[in-house]
Amino acid sequence: MMTTSVNVIHSKEMRNMINQLKNIGLVNKGIIFGGLVRDEIIGTYYREKFLEKNIGIDNYWKPTYDIETCYRTIIPSDMDIYFKNETDTNSFIVKITEFVNRFNGTIQFKKINNKSLIDNFEYNPNNSTTFKHIKINIYIRIGRTFTYYGHKLQFEIDVITNNNIVNYDGKDIEPPFNNLDFLCNVFLMEKINGKNNIRISNCTGTPIDDMSFANKLKFSSHIIDDIIQFKTEFSRNINNSNTEYINAYRILKMINKFHRWNITNLPFKMYNNSNFPYEADTMCCVCLQNIIINKKDDCEKDDYVLIPFNNQEKNGNIMHYNCFYNYLLQEQNKKYRNPETNQIECRCPFRNPFNFKDCHKSIKYEI
């Protein structure tokens, strides 16, 4: 009897599936935006560094092998793709359905109504362009046999379609629809002359849109330097009664990723014991447990959040990361409205507003 074994590397299979779904979207005139493009930049950078070392491709998918380039194995959690018309959207849906069926997978579609689109994402609140939003969930099981259940691959796609024939001011609109949340999400991916091309968006809703070509190149280089270090700045500048609810949602999503991001212009800072700026002996104001930070003894391994007082870190309040994250999540879900302004506010444990809506003012767009 012949015995054949197949070694299934989940992250490798996942990356390959995402690449195929990505290419189907690009061939059908889609514009990919958001986290997938950001992760593509990171993965490509560290992949090239890994290959330059010429240290053995067999260990490529082991994240503990060559820690310096471990981010080469980064996998996007979902894909956001935009189509300028319904025809291209339908073509994309037909093709990915054929792809999933080829592997005996399951594909589910959920139409998101315009109210949910505006309330939860506010893709384009400043003009009359309307969008159609479909959420697609894909499930494929690989390596399945009569005696082994196999590995499940699951992926989510948000498909945004422009329902307008003519866009505002007669110009094409594109992601992020004048509503950029983080500088790291400023890039788009599309297919040009048969090649996948990454470029900076022309519809960010920030001063980037008015930059000269040369300045855009310089600024995009600065953003990429930050991206490969998992650093970025919060740039969302929409201001309405629900702004802080959505701001907190996006910030929470970003700081709780597996590869945690350092958002440098927030009214709080995240550290671990090794990079905390000074020694501290205090108490977490959320759980009321002691916090002792002494880098010499390396006695604490936790991550921390510091809320500076009047921009003075030494007078700030220190919390365990998990305590702060759960606190901010609860604060966001409260949707507390200031009785004087009727605006939702997210307040720190000492009841001072975070004012995430003002963070964009600290970004320096001149390089």
Model pLDDT, residue 259: 87
* Of 343, 346, 342, the residue nearest 356 (C-alpha): 346
Half-sphere exposure of 143 (CA within 13 A, CB side): 15
List the chain pLDDT tens, one digit each, 367 residues.
666 677 788 999 999 999 999 999 999 999 999 999 999 999 999 999 999 999 988 999 998 999 999 999 999 999 999 999 999 999 999 999 999 999 999 999 999 875 444 344 454 444 445 789 999 999 999 988 888 888 899 999 999 999 775 555 556 799 999 999 999 999 999 999 999 999 999 999 999 999 999 999 999 999 999 999 999 999 999 999 999 999 999 999 999 988 889 999 999 999 988 888 888 888 998 999 988 887 665 555 678 999 987 666 767 899 999 999 999 999 999 999 999 999 999 999 989 999 999 999 999 998 7
Token pair listed for 19:
């690449």
| Dihedral sign of CA atoms 100, 104, 105, 111 in order | positive
* Of 207, 227, 184, 222, the residue nearest 34 (C-alpha): 184
Model pLDDT, residue 165: 52
Q: Could you give the C-alpha distances from 113 to 69, 134, 135, 176, in angstroms and in order?
A: 42, 9, 11, 19
> How do beta strands 187-192 and 31-33 pair?
antiparallel
* Of 304, 278, 269, the residue nearest 289 (C-alpha): 304
Distant-in-sequence, close-in-space partners of 123: CB < 8 Å, separation ≥ 6: 117, 131, 160, 176, 177, 179
Model pLDDT, residue 279: 84
Residues in the chain: 367
Q: pTM value?
A: 0.91
Instruction: Report whether 188 contacts 201 (CB < 8 A).
Output: yes
Q: What single string gives the DSSP state of each residue in 315-337?
A: EEEEEEHHHHHHHHHHHHHHT-B
Question: What is the rounded CA–CA span in Å between residue 94 and residue 24?
Answer: 10
Question: What is the rounded CA–CA span in Å between residue 174 and residue 168?
Answer: 11
Question: What is the rounded CA–CA span in Å between residue 141 and residue 230?
Answer: 32
Question: What is the rounded CA–CA span in Å between residue 38 and residue 176?
Answer: 13
Token pair listed for 83:
């189509």
Q: What single string gives the DSSP state of each residue in 292-304?
A: EE-TTTT----EE
- CB-count exposure of residue 148 (10 Å: 0-12, 13-18, 19+): exposed
* Of 73, 78, 89, the residue nearest 24 (C-alpha): 89
Instruction: Report whether 304 contacts 279 (CB < 8 A).
Output: no
For residue 85, what is the enclosing H or E element? none
